Amino acid sequence: MTTTNPVTTPLIELVRLHKTYRVGPETVPALREVSLRIWQGEFVAITGPSGSGKSTLLNLLGLLDTPDSGVYQLDGRDVAALDDNERTLIRKRKLGFIFQSSPMLPRLTAGENVALPLLYHGINPREAEATARDALGRVGLANVADNRPAQLSGGQLQRVAIARAIVTKPKLILADEPTASLDEQTAGEILQLLRDLNRDTGAAVVMITHELADAARALRHLVLTNGHLREARMGTTPPL
């Protein structure tokens, strides 16, 4: 018996995406004719050596950069047709970002840092605070909402960063080396947390990593080499 996915439009569709940079007098290709589909609810890891184009790809997916040629459709919309204001609005509403070292405002508590994206959306402060505390609870940090960043460990700070990334209920979470500065045990906990959130919220996760062990925790593994993207391993799409 054959089953079909009721979602017919991929969340991300790249068609022959190409990106180059100028380095002195030379033009250096970062991405070469990259085509890719990612569906809502997938957890995708992208590995590759330094300089292979991973950060460039993540920046393009996050609407932080534009390709030289090719097509990028996000949630059914052609990104090339968006103006700067529309790109900013989509980043706020549909994307969540987690970085290797996600900066926190030191004078604000963990809860206040998590609430910031909601305040930028115009949510009233009381509702933003309640939603932020709920997000912190989802990452196991309900008890540190009133602590400032200097009072938190590295692992706790990364959990706060994840809470801030999910507080707006994004469709896509982009994680750039989210475990790079953590010890092995804490890194494993963060990866499991991302898997759990991916399963429970239905948000797609695209994670850049140098660690093959981390990539093995994803359900799909892609490899970038010299700007060329290939599939390393396919898994099953997590339940929504």
pLDDT at 213: 87
Residues of the chain with pLDDT > 70, as a percent, come to 94
Confidence band of 165 (pLDDT split at 50, 70, 90): very high
- CB of 61 within 8 A of CB of 138? no
* CB contact set of 138 (below 8 Å; sequence gap of 6+): 163, 166, 197
**Is the predicted pLDDT of residue 4 greater than 80, yes or no?**
no
* CB contact set of 12 (below 8 Å; sequence gap of 6+): 36, 37, 38, 61, 72, 73, 74, 172, 204, 206
**113-117, 192-196, 236-240: which range is least confident on average?**
236-240
Helix axes 125-138, 154-166, angle to 10 degrees: 120
pLDDT at 3: 39
Question: What Rg do the C-alpha atoms of the chain give, in angstroms?
Answer: 18
**Is the predicted pLDDT of residue 11 greater than 90, yes or no?**
yes
Per-residue b or e along 145-164, where b marks 16 or more CB atoms closer than 10 Å to that residue's CB: beebbeebeebbbbbbbbbb
Helix axes 154-166, 110-120, angle to 10 degrees: 20
List the structure tokens of 10. Answer: 């991929």
Question: Amino acid identity, residue 152?
Answer: L
Question: Amino acid identity, residue 150?
Answer: A
* Tens-digit pLDDT profile for residues 204-224: 999 999 888 889 889 899 999
Q: What is the mean pLDDT of residues 172-177?
A: 94
Question: Amino acid identity, residue 146?
Answer: D
For residue 5, list its beta bridge partners.
none
CATH number of 12-233, picked from 3.30.565.10, 3.30.450.20, 3.40.50.300, 3.40.50.720: 3.40.50.300
Helix axes 154-166, 184-201, angle to 10 degrees: 20
pLDDT at 179: 87
Where do the H-state alpha helices sit in 52-211?
54-61, 84-94, 110-120, 125-138, 154-166, 184-201
Q: How far apart are CA 112 and CA 148, in angstroms?
A: 9
pTM of the entire predicted model: 0.88
Give the count of alpha carbons within 13 A of 148, CB side only.
Answer: 5
pLDDT at 7: 56
List the structure tokens of 20. Answer: 């180059």
* Tens-digit pLDDT profile for residues 55-103: 999 999 999 999 999 999 999 999 999 999 999 999 988 999 998 777 8
Residues of the chain with pLDDT > 90, as a percent, come to 70
Average pLDDT of the chain, as a whole number: 89
Q: Which long-range contacts (CB under 8 A, 24 or more apart) does 89-92 make?
A: 90/63, 91/62, 91/63, 92/117, 92/120, 92/121, 92/168
pLDDT at 41: 94
